[in-house]
Copies of this chain bind each other. A is one copy, B any other.
């Protein structure tokens, strides 16, 4: 029987850092199911005591001690949360003391600084990248002169979500080009892609999986037939091989992993937003 354990991500900011690390750690404990609740913007003692009440209530309801992953920067608020009786795991504490010693300075307690507004210039770069990606999605604009990367693949292989991720989190000007039936008749790159060879990254996918995805989108179309998927994927892979385009299969790969592989392979070092 799998135990159900309530987990609370508590933060005086968005809670994104707490949930990111908490999720990474908890997926390593496979014998427990976790019921997670994010409580953001706990930035007053009043909000802290409401939070304590919610945590206690969950503990009583499940008859088990809750876990709190806490990223509140204010020590008074963190102290108040201890009243919940939960197992308290502090996201920042283990890093602060070694860093203060190494850097010879005391950290500044800027609440929610990490996912707060940075500077307008940085914000503009991010928004510009998102706009670029939306206007260069699915072959809408084929002007790739400014693009950092052009993802190339058959329809429904994962291009759009990856481009959006790259733009939103790395400010990368990410375009994508859908290989058409006509493109796939040749095993050379479509002429319009040739000038951008160094920016190209091919995505491929297991044909059975592609069939499943297309079937949800356009049930019982020729587009969704397994035979069509097989033929298109084989032709795309042959083209990538012949042209030595770096390639990744998206079948068992998350959006985050595809994005990371693209950055690593093309040598794009960008600070994460």
Known contacts A27-B113, A102-B67, A16 near B256 by CB under 8 Å: yes
Q: What B residues does A117 contact at CB under 8 A?
A: 252-254, 257
Q: Tell yes or no: A59 within 8 A of B by CB.
A: no
- What range describes how many residues of A lie at the interface? 35 or more
Q: Tell yes or no: A214 within 8 A of B by CB.
A: no
**Distance to closest chain B CB from A236 (angstroms):** 20
Say whether B29 contacts A257, CB under 8 Å: no
Q: What B residues does A123 contact at CB under 8 A?
A: 254
Say whether B114 contacts A27, CB under 8 Å: yes
Q: What B residues does A37 contact at CB under 8 A?
A: 269
Q: What B residues does A273 contact at CB under 8 A?
A: 255
Oligomeric state, in copies? 2
In residues 221-273 of chain A, which contact B (Cβ within 8 Å)? 252-257, 259-261, 263-264, 269, 271-273
Known contacts A115-B257, A253-B117, A103 near B29 by CB under 8 Å: yes
CA of A92 to CA of B117 in the docked complex: distance in angstroms? Answer: 27
Q: What B residues does A30 contact at CB under 8 A?
A: 108
**Distance to closest chain B CB from A55 (angstroms):** 15
Q: Tell yes or no: A32 within 8 A of B by CB.
A: yes
Say whether A21 contacts B17, CB under 8 Å: yes
Say whether B161 contacts A127, CB under 8 Å: yes
Give the interface centre of A65, A109, A120, A256 by most chain B CB atoms within 10 Å. A256
Q: Name the residue of chain B whose CB is nearest to the CB of A251.
A: B117
State which of A93-101, A175-183, A191-199 sits at the interface with chain B.
Answer: A93-101
Nearest first, the 3 A-B pairs at minimum CB distance are A24-B114, A94-B94, A28-B107
